[in-house]
């Protein structure tokens, strides 16, 4: 667990950015407090996913610093940041069973098999995946698969932050509601920092303690704005 600070982050996908419009993210300064539930809300293409990538280390920012507590992790690779992420489409290991899927992150970290087993069963119970836990993961429905992706983050005890990148996009309408309450409940139980990216206001408001609304910065006319943090990110606290 850690407090996550983004300090003056700028990011561009171009190799030689000059103008403001070249940047997908400009001057982002945010602090995610330890144990908070945050939502990043904004239209497609406003840099939400990029921001997640910067926190997880999958994207390295053009400039600025990322701090976990007081440690500068800007140049640290993903595995050492101890983060978990759920993607838009469920990512599961098709040929493994549900159990092996959930155990995978633990086994990769050389955790003893007895601990793996108890931890996996605990998480499976939390997510209602106990039934058919030894079946092939590929046979599950899409919401079951998304639960597995979520579970692979929950099994690890060293997770600093869990991130969700529009995780309910492919889920049925009625299952959406259930999964959302599940997430909320999980957050109350495990108290890991969670960052939830979405373009759906309802999702953002039901999930998060704090919503960070992004403006579609790239769609603004070139000349009119010099954007700084207070322009591109506005906070709505409840």
Footprint of other proteins (CB under 8 A):
56, 58, 78-79, 83-85, 87-89, 91, 93-96, 104-105, 108-109, 136, 139, 149, 152-153
From the CB of 65, what's the least distance to other proteins, in Å?
A: 21
Query: Cβ(1)–Cβ(207) under 8 Å?
Result: no
Residue 60 token pair: 């390295």
From the CB of 162, what's the least distance to other proteins, in Å?
A: 10
Ramachandran area for residue 128 (φ above 0: left; ψ -120 to 50: alpha; else beta): left
Question: Residue 236: in which H helix or E strand, if any?
Answer: strand 233-237
Question: In the complex with other proteins, which residue's Cβ is closer, 2 or 217?
Answer: 2
Cα within 13 Å of Cα(152), Cβ side = 26
From the CB of 81, what's the least distance to other proteins, in Å?
A: 9
Cα within 13 Å of Cα(39), Cβ side = 27
From the CB of 93, what's the least distance to other proteins, in Å?
A: 5
């Amino acid at each position: 667990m850690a407090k996550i600070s983004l300090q003056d982050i700028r990011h561009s996908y171009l190799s030689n950015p000059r103008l403001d419009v070249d940047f997908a993210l400009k001057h982002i300064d945010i602090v995610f407090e330890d144990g908070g539930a945050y939502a990043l809300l904004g239209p497609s293409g406003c840099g939400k996913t990029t921001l997640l990538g910067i926190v997880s280390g999958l994207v390295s920012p053009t400039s600025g610093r990322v701090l976990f507590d007081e440690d500068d992790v800007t140049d640290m690779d993903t595995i050492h940041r101890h983060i978990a992420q759920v993607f838009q489409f469920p990512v599961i290991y098709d040929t493994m069973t549900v159990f092996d899927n959930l155990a995978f992150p633990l086994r990769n970290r050389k955790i003893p098999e007895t601990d793996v087993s108890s931890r996996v069963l605990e998480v499976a119970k939390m997510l209602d995946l106990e039934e058919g836990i030894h079946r092939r993961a590929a046979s599950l429905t899409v919401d079951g698969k998304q639960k597995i992706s979520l579970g692979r983050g929950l099994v690890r005890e060293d997770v600093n932050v869990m991130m969700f990148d529009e995780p309910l996009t492919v889920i049925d309408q009625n299952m959406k509601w259930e999964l959302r309450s599940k997430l909320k409940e999980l957050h109350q139980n495990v108290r890991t920092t969670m960052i939830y990216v979405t373009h759906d206001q309802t999702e953002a408001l039901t999930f998060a303690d704090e919503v960070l609304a992004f403006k579609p910065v790239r769609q603004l006319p070139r000349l009119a704005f010099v954007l700084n943090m207070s322009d591109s990110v506005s906070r709505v606290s409840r």
